[in-house]
Every structure is written in C-alpha cells, then in structure tokens.
Amino acid sequence: MTLKECKKEEKMDREFQKKFKFEGSINVLTQMMVDPAAKEKRGGAKNLPLRRGEILDVIQFTNQEQILCRNSKRRYGYVPRAVMLPL
C-alpha cells in the first residue's frame, strides 16, 4: 500500500468516526453476506448501498434492526439485519 492510499484510508476512517460518533479503534467483528434474494438498494445518508451477495465487514451490532458495516470500497453505513446472512 502506498503512502497516499494509507493517508486516504486514515482520512476515511476519521470521517466515519465523526459521522457515526464512533469512539475507539475500528475493529472488524465478523463478515456477513448480503442475501442474494434481497432487493438491491441505493445508499442514503447513513445507509450503505446493498448489492446481492456482497461480503461486508461488521463493525458493530447497533440494535435489533441494523448493523454498522463496511464494504469493499471502505464505505461505512447501516445495513438492515434482515438482509444479512452469516458466512
């Protein structure tokens, strides 16, 4: 990874922590897959866009309805628990 890419990732992580009021280090708890039968959705203000069969990193289990996740493009957002499948 180049220095430029590393700094870009650090900046994205800082923006995530500010936007979601996330304290502490960002640790991946587990990985889950978006249900292949789920509808694809565009992301919103704090919601992550959904693609069928995509593997997401779980950052935090926030509540009974949503999970805070990160996708392969290092974008963060909430995903409904109903569309997530364990790997």
pLDDT digits (tens, 9 = 90+) for 68-86: 999 988 889 999 998 999 8
Weakly modelled stretches of the chain, pLDDT under 70: 1
User: What is this structure's pTM?
Assistant: 0.84
Q: Which of 12, 37, 35 is nearest to 67 (CA)?
A: 35
Residues in the chain: 87
**Distance between CA 44 and CA 64 in Å, rounded?**
20
Q: Structural domains in the chain? A: 3-86 (2.30.30.40)
Strands (E), 1-87: 30-34, 55-60, 66-70, 76-80, 84-86
